[in-house]
Amino acid sequence: MNTVRVDLSFDQIKQALRRLPATEKAALWRFLDEDLDRAAIARRFASTVNAIRKANANLGEDEVMADAVRTTREVRRAKNRSGH
């Protein structure tokens, strides 16, 4: 069996994947989904949520929501400037 090695950057892979037809993207999604460690993802998510709660424990809900809205607006502005 012959081995072929191709060196592509992550950005090159993303660009190639974006050109795939929707049916092939869906097939790739199903293929990659089999490799996901859902328990690890759930643990990491729970850990992140707990860290956020701990960091905001002394803040009122209104203050937290105002910060979330402000951050969302900043991200959207940055995304619009970058053209994505």
- Gap between the Cα atoms of 29 and 45, Å rounded: 21
22-67 tens-digit pLDDT: 999 999 999 999 999 999 999 999 999 999 889 888 888 899 889 8
d(CA 27, CA 34): 11
Question: CA torsion sign, 39 to 45 to 51 to 56?
Answer: negative
pLDDT of residue 56: 83
**How many CB atoms neighbour CB 25 within 10 A?**
13
Query: What's the mean pLDDT in 68-77?
Result: 94
What does the domain layout of the chain look like in residue ranges?
38-82
Backbone angles phi, psi at 57, to 5 degrees: -60, -30
Determine the 3-state secondary structure of 3 from DSSP: coil
User: What pLDDT was estimated at residue 2?
Assistant: 87
pLDDT band at 84 (very low <50, low <70, confident <90, very high): low
Q: Is the pTM of this model over 0.75?
A: no
